[in-house]
Each structure stands twice: as structure tokens, then as C-alpha cells.
A and B are shown apart, each in its own frame.
Chain A
Amino acid sequence: MSWAPVLKVKNLSTYFYTRYGVIKAVNGASFTVAAGKTLGLVGESGCGKSVTALSILRLIEPPGRICSGEVWLNGCDLLKIPPRQLRQVRGREIALVFQDPLTSLNPVLTIGTQLAETIDSHEEISRAEARRRAVELLFRLGLPDPERLMRLYPFQLSGGMRQRVMVAMALALRPKVLIADEPTTALDVTVQAQILAELKRLQEELGMAIVLITHDLGVVAAMTDEVAVMYAGTIVEHGPVAEVFDRPAHPYTRALLRSVPRLGREELAPVEGQPPSLLNLPAHCAFLPRCLQAGAACRGEKPELREIGPGHAAACHRLFPWAG
């Protein structure tokens, strides 16, 4: 059974026009997120995960530009709507949590001011009412003594508390989709476990969909329903999480899974070589130079994402020998 997608990204391409050339950070990425479900977007640094997140909210600044693609949310294409309407969508329909809460919070405003501002800039309520809702939000995120917290500045909080505040801020307007870009990467495992558990609880409460961007396959396995694996700006595999972990189809996914050290497991097979330079991506499959299964067809056109099972798709010529 498939779930109705709440967010649909189609053929998204975002390039950066630098003096060294065009960096194809996102290069034709497509994926969907089901309502109330969690999609894990995984890949190594520089594969385009974060740029994808920023592109969805149209937060790309020059020299970057969203060159093509569609981002469908609630029946409208976010890449086409006028800026006024976009402001309504951001925060209220779709919100973003970044990895580094210290740089995303304003250092000279108290937590309370920042949270209340987020709420009352979108809703017709008094400042007092906004503050009351802010306190409630902090409380729901498991932060102790929220009243006192409202009067503190970001530097007075620990990393874990700051990240909780960021999550509270993103959830303030009950968005339908939350994009969390490496929300727990900078934190200790013990704090990570707490924040992930709280995210999960709030997801059930609010019924929102989450796009969880991470390079940690453990977090993906623990948190997500579906997973999209990204390599060199494109999605190379997409499917239900259990399916992708048990029967990874793309050689990159397989290699990635083998390269993670696990507790109590002995062998470790790294992916040899380096990811390609995004400045001059080859016309063929970008993983070819590191691929152990490559064949003649792989030197041809870049493979497209194709269905290989129910809800499971991969972009690899070797999976479809008859097609090419």
C-alpha cells in the first residue's frame, strides 16, 4: 500500500556558478515524502543533501541558482509561487532545522523573544499569547523549567538544549513537513537518542512528515520509514527502509552499508576512492570510478531511477541488463 505523498520533488537541479566553473550540487534529484512519514535522505558530505533541503524552501542564494525542477506541496509548486505566498508556506507548511543551532539562533536575543517572534509573525495573536505558546512548546520538547529558559540567551544553553529550541521553533506553527538537516550530528549519542525520541513523539502528535538528512545510517535505520540515497547530486536508490537495508540494489548503497562499523562486527569494507568533483561530473554514472560491478553499459548514458520492486527504485544500469 502506498501513502499519499505530501511533498514531491521532481528533477530538482541546483547549480552554483563560481569562478571555477559550474558546481552541479543537485543534479536532477527526485523523491517523494508520504504524509506523516519519515524519509531519510542519506549520503556523504558534498553529495547535495543540504542544498536539496535549501532548494525545497527556495533559500538558495547567488552564486547558486535552482535551474530546474518542481517541488510540489499542497497542490502548488513552491518553485513557482510568488514570494509573498512563499513566506506563508515557510514555517507554516514546511519548516527547517539546521545542524548547527549556534549559528542559526540570534545570539543577542533571548530564546523567548525568538520563539515568540516566530509565532506571532505568522499568526494574529498577542505577544503574551505567543509567549505562552512558546513556553508550552519548550515544555513539550522536554526542556526543564521553560519559563526560565525563555529569558536565557543561546550561549547560556548546551548544544543539546539549543537544538531542542531549534526544533521547538520549527514546530511552532505545526508544519506539515519538517526538514531536519543533520539535527543531531554535532551531539553526543546520549543526547541524540533523547532528541530523536522527542522528534518521533512530536511527529505522532502533529502528524507531520519529516525529511531527515543525515550521513548516519544508524539514525536512518532507527528513525525512518523510507530512505533515499544520494550520490553526486542525484538519488541513486529510494525505497522502504527495511527493503533498502536488507536488499540494497545500488552498488553505492551496498558499499555504504558495508563501510559502517557496527558493534561486535569484525570486517569493514570501505568504499575505495573519493566522490567525484561536482565541477565536472561525467556524462555517465557518477559512481562508475568507484564501482566494483561496473560493466560496458555503465560508460553510456547516466542511469535513471527505475522501479525494481514495490516502492523500491534504483538508478543503475547493471540492474537492467536488458535495457541497455
Chain B
Amino acid sequence: MRVSLLEVRDLVKHYPGKGGILAGRREKVRAVDGVSLSIARGETLGLVGESGCGKSTLGRLVVRLEEPTAGKIFFAGQETTGRTGRKLRELRRRFQIIFQDSSSSLNPRRTVGAIIEEPLANFGVVKGECRERVGELLELVGLEPGDASKYPHEFSGGQRQRINIARALALQPELVVCDEPVSSLDVSIRAQILNLLRELKRRFNLSYLFISHDLAAVSYLADRVAVMYLGQIVEVLPAEGLVSQARHPYTRALLQAVPEPDPQQRTGQKPVIRGEPPDPASPPPGCRFHPRCPEAREVCRQEEPVLKKVGKGRLVRCHLS
């Protein structure tokens, strides 16, 4: 049996909600509520969903920037949950994260060289070697070795995201969590970064957890797509079947809401789902999607559906499929 690079089992992350001392009982915000998934070596798993669905929290849990409330994470067969200190550090160089905001994730007072060098120095690469490696990394992401002496503000948003990518790749990780890496970039620059990520993946056999609300970007990069709603995975399917094989009404609604850049395909259809996702502090009973679901029936209001297998590599959490 093939061991997956990342294996997440029943992961839960609850945050204390609004209220505080005077309000008495606090409602817990169930940001991630029982998520299981796996990523194979060299595979890209796209993670999509509306804002607040818990996709970023899941990404942060995977790289251990947050402590899970419950559940287990295995990286290359080793459990990372529960590890601290040196034991965690050993594994940490093997998974990295790239954030959405390319400027706030770079220290404005340090040069690009110093920024990229830091992870190398942290993991004991000798000073002289560092400099050379920084140059290589900058070239790898399409910048010049000479850019090492510049500061982040001297670069555009797209170039800064390249610097973030260079830093993330400095320690030759096996898994990179990309949290909305292109969302704040312009259309033309977005395509550059998506192509860069794709090329790097091929070259180093990287695995990505690619988090985005942009379904088109996800379908471009991912091998498989997981759709998240209110802290839970509601559907997993191969990326090439995203449009044709999506079964969950939520996935279909998301796909339908994406305006296609083609005036001929203008449908004039009414949006299928209305309203906004409910508060994750008090998810609706039964299926969490039922208040917005156009196909909801009685059973959807009563019973919570389970994520069940509906085909090869395909899972759906819906009573109706």
C-alpha cells in the first residue's frame, strides 16, 4: 500500500467564540470540525470553499501553526500532532506554507537575501553556502541573484510572492501549503505565479495543499479537489471531473456562481443559492448546507449526512447522492 505524504484524521479545531465572562456560556466556533484527508507524494489537493469555511485554519493546522483540538496528522507516516520542540523541528523543514498577503509575510526591514537565508541558517546551512543557495533560489523563482540585496518594498506584489515561494522552498520541503497564493494578485501576474507553482511541482515532485476560493485556479493546478463547507469536507473529486462530475449541490452551486469569461455563455440564470454561510458557532442541525440547498428534503433537516464513497477517489457528503 502506498503511504500518503500527508494524512489527516478527524481533525478538529474549535475556537472560543463571542461572549466572554459576562455572557456566561461561550459558543465554540467550529472552524474545522472533523476533517480527514490525504495527499500523496507529488500530488496537489485543491481545497475550496467560501470565506469562513475553515480552509485556512485547516492549512495552518497541517503545518502546525495551530494546535488542533482533536484529531491526528501524519506526515510521511510519522505523527506530527503531539510533537513539540526538537522532535517537531526535525519534521518541520519538510513542510512549508505560502500565505496570501505577499507583503505582510515579508519583514520590511530585512533584505530579500536575509529573508531567504533565515530558514537555511536555522537548519544549519553554513554562511558561505547560504549566499550561493539564495542566488539559486531567486533564479528558480524567476528573479535575479542580485535582488538579494534589495528590500521587499522594491518589488511588486507578484515579485514579492515569488520571494515568498523562494523562502518556502529554501529547505527543499516535500509539502507546501499554499493559502490563497494568487488571490491578491492581478490577472496577468496570477497566471505567472500559477505557472511557476506548476513548474516547481513538476521539477521537485512537490505536493501542494492549494487553498483557494478561485475554482478555476484550483482546477488548473490540482489533481484532486476537496470542497469545504462550515468546517467539513462535503465533496472530494478528481480535478478533471470538477465541472462534469460534481455531485454535491454546494459544489454545483459554487461552480455555477463562477462567471465564465465568455459572453456567449451568459446564462441569465438566477443564482442557485441565496444568503450567506451560517455562523460556524452554531451550525444548523442535519446537513449543514440544508438551509441554502435548493434540493433539501425532510431527511436533510433531521440527519447529518456522512462522507461516503461514490466512486474511485470520490467522496460526497449528501443524503441525495
Contacts and interface: CB of A to CB of B under 8 A. Distances in A.
Nearest to A142: B274
Interface string A108-135: 0000000000000000000000000000
B186 A45 contact: yes
Contacts of A217: 187, 261
B190 to A, nearest CB: 7
A259 B187 contact: yes
Interface residues of A, number: 45
Contact of B276 (A158, A218, A246): A158
A106 to B, nearest CB: 23
Interface stretch (A79-87, A95-103, A186-194): A186-194
Given A194-B271, A261-B219, A263-B242, A221 B257 contact: no
A149 B130 CA distance: 58
Interface stretch (A57-65, A166-174, A270-278, A315-323): A270-278
Contact of A256 (B188, B254, B256, B263): B188
A261 B194 contact: yes
Interface string B258-276: 1111111110001101101
A264 interface: yes
Contacts of A265: 220
B254 A189 contact: yes
Interface in A216-253: 216-223, 241-242, 245-246
Interface residues of B, number: 44
A222 B188 contact: no
Interface string B158-193: 110000000000000000000000000011111110
B276 A260 contact: no
A268 interface: yes
A158 B217 CA distance: 26
B276 A160 contact: yes
A261 B258 CA distance: 12
B50 interface: yes
B186 A270 contact: no
A274 B192 CA distance: 11
Nearest to B279: A158
Interface in B223-256: 240, 242-244, 253-256
Interface of A: 44-45, 142, 158, 160-161, 188-194, 196-197, 215-223, 241-242, 245-246, 255-257, 259-266, 268-272, 274
* Nearest 4 Cβ contacts at the A-B interface: A270-B191, A218-B259, A271-B188, A259-B191
Given A221-B259, A222-B260, A268-B191, 14 more contacts: A191-B50, A191-B276, A192-B257, A193-B271, A194-B271, A216-B259, A221-B261, A221-B263, A242-B263, A264-B219, A264-B242, A270-B189, A270-B194, A274-B159
